[in-house]
Amino acid sequence: MIESVRAHSDFHADWNVVDANGLTVTPGFIDVHSHADFGPFLHDDDTTKVLQGVTTEVVGNCGISLAPTTSERRTLLASAFEPRLSELEPSDGSFAQYLAAMDERGYVTNFAPLVGHNTLRIAALGMEAREPTDDELAQMGKMLEEALDAGAFGLSTGLIYPPGTFSVTSEIVALAERLRPNTLYTSHLRSEADALLEAVAEALHVGESTGTRVQISHHKAAGRSNWGKTRESLALIAAARARGVDVHQDVYPYLAGSTSLRAALPPEFHAGGAEATLARLRDDTALSKLAARIADGAPGFENLVKQAGYDGILIATTASGRFEGMTLSEVGHELAVDPFHALVHVLVQERLEATMTIFLMNEGDVERVITDAHTAIGSDGAYAGSGGKPHPRLFGTFPRVLARYVRERRTLSLGAAIHKMTALAAHIFRLPDRGTLAAGQIADIVAFDADTISDDLDYRDPVRAPKGIAWVMQGGRTVVQGHSYIGARNGERLRPAPA
């Protein structure tokens, strides 16, 4: 804990001095949108965030958490989101037991876990493409409340991902009604592209009709035809805020996104789970329907291929390691097939276990979102330890904000950027003893060189510690020194502030 903040001249010879001459010293950064959920279960320490100066991560985003589940649905959850889940000791599947298992393994950074709507839905009704029965909805609500009792910070949705994509708004509202004043609703919107404004309105409606606080995840306007729409989306959000909705948003500082390659498929391809999807990808009739569905760009699903083009999709990670760092056009060239069949080939060969980096955004939108006073910073970094050529945000988000948007483009002042990464994030997630340097706060601190800090990464060469972070202290102990992690899982699981 920080005992007091005092002038440099108040110095005692017997004190242990940590040098910060010439450095900028700030609270440890808070990554409000992380997918590092599996990190504690990895044998190696997941240092991707702490080397950036991050000391706290909000996990369980985009509707995806590793619990709760049931013994019957555990395999389905693993095949949908985290194959390594099946390597773990079986548990009763409860959120409480999952938290206990993580606590036992230990945390590199502090974790603030959300419970995912996709995960709840898989537990209650699998990957079925329909609305839940009243019983199933009640079961989801009960599991949500158990997760909140156990220490979840709120409910996340990922409404472009199956099975979340099969839900209607009233289902989300029914669940959000069970949230409590010290928890919140976070959402990967139902569309970040053609139906962006409708999707923002849906998230705001969830907040307005239930009184719950809302966090709009990785806010963006995806696809060339939608560039500029953040002007309207931010206006919608500001209008809701003026009506009393407690709503914020977050952003990552890149023009490309990243997600599972299977997100390129329309919802009907996902019904029934991974095996059913693979069967459709091997069926010629289904494939010609798929080709037409992607090409015609009709509404009804988030058509990522249409928005980015095959040249704009770079394979990030695959189960086998093949194709990583290649665009779908390049894969097609190598296999002597058209890029559509390259997409199908990778999905089938890798049994759907592939992720992509996808070029969808425009600098004007990123800058408009990042400068909004209610925007925090989230990496949306890939699942911990998934290897390959992940989107560089996994290793570089926070240094890049300081390099590109503070130092180079002067989009943000240094103070404004730090506020987004620290105090604002702590305010949104109600972390009362993090995010500022003051007496009584936990000593999560980072020291960096504001003149040299940089991510120094690119999309085909994305795995490296950033430059310019001098040291990171977590809970008063130095855990990063000279670009190396020297800690021993000194992080902890955070609990929501009392209501």
Interacting residues with Zn ion (CB under 5 A): 62, 188
User: For residue 304, which of 314, 338, 5, 336 has the smallest C-alpha distance?
Assistant: 314
**In sequence order, which residues have a C-beta less than 8 Å from that of residue 245 and are 6 or more positions away?**
204, 207, 208, 214
Residue 288 CB, nearest approach to Zn ion (Å): 30
Q: Give CA–CA dist 58/78, Å, rounded.
A: 21
Nearer to Zn ion, 221 or 472 (CB): 221
Q: How many angstroms separate the Cα of 96 from the Cα of each of 102, 167, 210, 307?
A: 10, 26, 25, 40
Residue 380 CB, nearest approach to Zn ion (Å): 6
**What phi and psi, each to the nearest 5 degrees, are found at residue 248?**
-135, 175
Contact indicator for 440, 2 with CB cutoff of 8 Å: yes
Nearer to Zn ion, 27 or 223 (CB): 223
Altogether, the residues listed in the chain come to a count of 499
Residue 468 CB, nearest approach to Zn ion (Å): 28
Nearer to Zn ion, 379 or 474 (CB): 379
Contact indicator for 438, 422 with CB cutoff of 8 Å: no
Q: Give CA–CA dist 349/251, Å, rounded.
A: 33
Nearer to Zn ion, 62 or 206 (CB): 62
- Residue 6 CB: number of other CB atoms within 10 A? 9
Contact indicator for 324, 389 with CB cutoff of 8 Å: yes
Nearer to Zn ion, 188 or 404 (CB): 188
Nearer to Zn ion, 190 or 293 (CB): 190
Residue 158 CB, nearest approach to Zn ion (Å): 6
Task: For residue 157, list its beta bridge partners.
Answer: 187
Residue 26 CB, nearest approach to Zn ion (Å): 27
Residue 192 CB, nearest approach to Zn ion (Å): 9
Q: Give CA–CA dist 355/262, Å, rounded.
A: 8
Nearer to Zn ion, 49 or 280 (CB): 49
Residue 326 CB, nearest approach to Zn ion (Å): 23
H or E segment to which residue 401 belongs: none
Burial 463-487 (b: 16+ CB within 10 A, else e): eebbbbbbbbbbbeeebbeeeebeb
Residue 112 CB, nearest approach to Zn ion (Å): 17
Residue 218 CB, nearest approach to Zn ion (Å): 6
H or E segment to which residue 98 belongs: helix 95-105
Nearer to Zn ion, 188 or 389 (CB): 188
- Residue 291 CB: number of other CB atoms within 10 A? 15
Contact indicator for 192, 229 with CB cutoff of 8 Å: no
Burial 371-392 (b: 16+ CB within 10 A, else e): ebebbbbbbbbbbbebebbbbb
Nearer to Zn ion, 217 or 454 (CB): 217
Q: Give CA–CA dist 224/289, Å, rounded.
A: 25
Residue 87 CB, nearest approach to Zn ion (Å): 24
Residue 314 CB, nearest approach to Zn ion (Å): 18
DSSP assigned state of 258: E
Residue 72 CB, nearest approach to Zn ion (Å): 27
Query: What's the longest Cα–Cα distance across the chain?
Result: 79
User: For residue 215, which of 180, 238, 249 has the smallest C-alpha distance?
Assistant: 249
Nearer to Zn ion, 188 or 248 (CB): 188
Please tell me the number of Cα atoms within 13 Å of 215 on its side-chain side: 32
User: For residue 261, which of 325, 305, 195 has the smallest C-alpha distance?
Assistant: 305
Nearer to Zn ion, 381 or 399 (CB): 381
Nearer to Zn ion, 26 or 357 (CB): 357
Rounded (5°) CA angle 112-118-120: 80
